[in-house]
Structure 1
Amino acid sequence: MRRNIKYYLIVDGYNIINAWDELKEIAKYDLENSREKLVNEMIEYAEYTGRKAIIVFDAYNVKSSREKIEERKHITVVYTREHQTADSYIEKFISTLSRYDDVKVATNDYAEQQIILGKGATRISARELKLDLDHAKSKIREKNSSSGKKIQRNWLEERLDKETLSKLEKIRRNH
């Protein structure tokens, strides 16, 4: 019987932000900007690799926080509910997938890595993810320059969730 294998990359958002110097520096002054930069990097990575990227940001210490899921171009961004860590969300999500799915989890958290491996996923360190991302960007640039194509525009509407787009459209129409 032929299996329909799905390919996932699950990213522990804050763990990666704190592991990548550039994002860590931005986060000191503007956490939202740092998150958006990571999201945009993962959109590019997902487009290149064909993996469904899921970035999980925990709201463990945020009072009255509800789980929020944003579908964006090639990725899903998850903000966990109050008292839920990214680790627990990731573990729960992995357990819902088929054992035939190819799942990589990007984190530097050693304890999380052990649990991930026990659930059949593979782990990728923050450093390995950065190297893969840089390689993907290099290949994209190479492909674009050799084909004579200009790099596609990066439209804001492709990066925003539907609710935000709807609100912006209402503002634009002065309703």
Structure 2
Amino acid sequence: MKEYLVIDGYNVIYTWPKLARLSDTSLEHARVKLVDIMASHSALSGQLIKVVFDAHQVKNITQRQEQVNGIEILYTQQGETADALIERITGDLIKLGKVYVVTSDWDEQRIIFGRGAYRMTPRELWEQVKKIRQKNMSEYSINLPTEGYLENRLNESVRDLLEKLRRKKF
């Protein structure tokens, strides 16, 4: 069964401290960083990710979407909130698999529960991202064959003593 992650982009940006600090200087940079983090997460977790950004206060804009590194990025149209678009997307995706909606907006969480989706707070998403990164690092870290040798874990004086014993130089 496919797993989908629908993310309220600005909600996550303003919740994660690093991205919030980044957004103080460049909101565009914070958006790019979030998408980059989610692209890595998608590759490691297998989840299909959609990030929704609210553009309802921007004049004369229509809804648009783009693909960046396997992540679908959606911008709302003028007059439409990210919450409304997330609700619509969730209703469509629930037929295809398990859907998690990442938002800290309580009203939005109640609505998506009614649609059959699961909620995830931005903090829970960050914990999941860290956990999957750590698991990946431990599974795919390269160990040299000699790292497991007993002699490499022994104290030098014990090693010398064993070498003398091996050569019978007591």
- Alpha-carbon separation, structure 1, partners of 2:31 and 2:96: 31
Give the share of equivalent positions with the same residue, in percent: 35
**Equivalent residue for 2:73, pick from 41, 65, 77:** 77
Distance apart, 1:100 and its partner CA: 5.6
> Could you report, residue by residue, the CA deviation over 1:39-64 in whole angstroms, capped at 9, with x for unpaired residues?
00100111111110000001011111
AA matched with 1:9? L
- Alpha-carbon separation, structure 1, partners of 2:123 and 2:94: 27
Partner in structure 2 of residue 61 of structure 1: 57
Cα distance 1:123–1:147, how it changes in 2: closer, same or farther (>3 A)?
A: farther
> Could you report, residue by residue, the CA deviation over 1:33-87 in whole angstroms, capped at 9, with x for unpaired residues?
0001100010011111111000000101111112111112221011111111111
Partner in structure 2 of residue 27 of structure 1: 23
1:86 aligns with 2:82: yes
- Alpha-carbon separation, structure 2, partners of 1:98 and 1:20: 27
- Alpha-carbon separation, structure 2, partners of 1:67 and 1:100: 23
Partner in structure 2 of residue 42 of structure 1: 38
AA matched with 2:7? V
Q: Which has the higher helix share?
A: 2
Cα distance 1:142–1:81, how it changes in 2: closer, same or farther (>3 A)?
A: same
Q: How many residues align?
A: 144
> Could you report, residue by residue, the CA deviation over 1:90-129 in whole angstroms, capped at 9, with x for unpaired residues?
1011112344610001100000000010000000001100
Question: Which sections of structure 1, spanning at least 5 residues, go unmatched?
Answer: 149-175
TM-score, length basis structure 1? 0.78
Q: State the SS of the aligned residue for 2:61.
A: coil
Distance apart, 1:140 and its partner CA: 2.1
- Alpha-carbon separation, structure 2, partners of 1:131 and 1:102: 19
Q: CA RMSD in A?
A: 1.4
- Alpha-carbon separation, structure 1, partners of 2:44 and 2:143: 16
Q: State the SS of the aligned residue for 1:71.
A: strand
**Equivalent residue for 1:126, pick from 118, 122, 127:** 122
Pairs within 5 Å for 1:2-21: 5-21=1-17
Partner in structure 2 of residue 145 of structure 1: 141
Whether the 8 Å CA contact 1:99–1:120 is kept in 2: the answer is: no
